[in-house]
Structure 1
């Protein structure tokens, strides 16, 4: 069932958390994921690895608990997925989140730079607009010439597809739409003109608002018990699948990711990315934007610049 050369070791850092557990389940249970080894790491007890290991698919699962076992989790990893950190709770600003998660991400990617420098590192930990620059700059400062760092913003796309389908009475699996920019509030730019259905001005504004702040719906619905975890795990698995399909040469559909790019003066941006040899990444810019979308993009870039600068400054001031 598996072709040689395409099996890989995947490490999930923060595997015991609200996103880490369902994501690990999705990765282990899908025989098509082409994973030979699934390394599950957290500072907590990783007994869940034994639980997952009983699922009859070919990938071997091993749990790693505590900082002392992090090097073993990362050894020979091809892909590292990082959902580690604290979730957003009601009343919590993205600054509050930043103060906690920035250090967690920096320490984990520093270990990646040491033990699997050529791995593809997929960042889920929020705020992505700042944690991706932290990851990239930290790995660069530790001697990784071309850090393969990708921010996972797929959740914005799956929300857009779901909300459009609800509004128009469609099956969400039939809906496609591009969402670019960043991964928080006004930095999220839904390109509704790329959807196969048309919207009135009122519908567009209502959809954009809901897509940009869909995370708040979940935080509110969970009444203080956390943020989007299950939909985020689904989004991360969808990104992983599309990402490795391109790397393996079995798909030419460009995934969307928040990456380091020269295409915008902000230095980072989420859009379709063309993956080249040796980990090179080229952002494909959105074309033919409507006047409304151009305004959204302008607002997004101003906010993004602040988030990115904050991440870069943190990385510089906490260089190893």
Structure 2
């Protein structure tokens, strides 16, 4: 029986961290795909460097790098991290269309040789890039998934655990909606710590401070790094999704999915809780929301629709 295969498109800091986390799980082979025009030989170097950890980490899966697509053929999952960060003086529209061009090209090539793959989109602006990926691949909504809510929820849960001094494993809370610092929606009303509502454990001002910090999670990391952005937690969140799909774990993870009626939203990618397993998204779940939370989730979807109008 052939090994499972995962292709990671883009071998920057996040792509490289994803590859390392994945090969150490020993559940699939990994291909790092990148363009030598931009990456040089970095992806080849990372593949070789990570391979040489095998004697100490004990994994037997293989990792390789490629400039093309033949080696990626028949991948079970394709993770798309390719794209450029926003540069000084660059408009939002320029960033959107520049990254859309990259994602469109990469996804079309990947889908051609891996027609049964599940695509996980990491590239930003993520919800909009999911639309580009779905159009470029022609895949159904079950097999085009945006990573965003998994990371945002991890930050939210960590800040709650740190504030209360409890294990993060006993904090259950989701961030849905959009994947930006103004459109994500931490669902406070359904957040539980050991089964106890968060609002019973912390005063409103503490809860709101946690929500605000979670929504600025990426910006805070960027400010501390000075150059670059977060990649440790983003890679962990993404690989949890990959593992759930490869091993058919049927885990409930907040992801961006093409809404077809969830929360009354249609025809746009936005975050909700999804069951991930073989084939990608197996089910979606609507959280019971307060009126205020529901309004924010709907507004997040509308913001993505407005952004999509800027696509060439």
Aligned-pair distance for 1:13? Answer: 0.4
Aligned-pair distance for 1:130? Answer: 0.7
Q: Which residue of 1 aligns with 2:18?
A: 23
The whole-number CA distance in structure 1 between the counterparts of 2:17 and 2:241 is: 15
Tell me which of 133, 155, 162 is aligned to 2:158.
162
Instruction: Note the alpha carbon deviations across 1:188-210, whole angstroms, 9 max, x for none.
Output: 11112322233322122212211
The whole-number CA distance in structure 2 between the counterparts of 1:243 and 1:38 is: 15
Q: Which residue of 2 aligns with 1:295?
A: 292
Q: Which residue of 1 aligns with 2:304?
A: 307
Aligned-pair distance for 1:90? Answer: 7.9
Moved over 6 A (4+): 89-93
Q: Which residue of 2 aligns with 1:116?
A: 114
Q: For residues 195-274 of structure 1, what are the structure 2 equivalents within 5 Å?
A: 195-196=192-193, 197-198=198-199, 199-223=202-226, 225-245=227-247, 247=248, 251-262=249-260, 263=262, 264-265=265-266, 267-274=268-275
Aligned-pair distance for 1:242? Answer: 3.0
Count of residues paired in the alignment? 291
* Structure 1 spans left out of the alignment, 5+ residues: none
Q: Secondary structure, in 3 states, of the residue corresponding to 1:47?
A: helix
Contact 1:11–1:40 at 8 Å: present in 2 too? yes
Q: 1:299 to 1:200 in 2, by over 3 A?
A: same
Q: Which residue of 2 aligns with 1:284?
A: 285
Aligned-pair distance for 1:103? Answer: 1.3
The whole-number CA distance in structure 2 between the counterparts of 1:47 and 1:19 is: 15
Q: 1:213 to 1:94 in 2, by over 3 A?
A: farther
The whole-number CA distance in structure 1 between the counterparts of 2:165 and 2:121 is: 33
Tell me how large the CA RMSD over aligned residues is. Answer: 2.5
* Structure 2 spans left out of the alignment, 5+ residues: none
Asked if 1:38 corresponds to 2:13, the answer is no
The whole-number CA distance in structure 2 between the counterparts of 1:73 and 1:309 is: 38
Q: Secondary structure, in 3 states, of the residue corresponding to 2:251?
A: coil
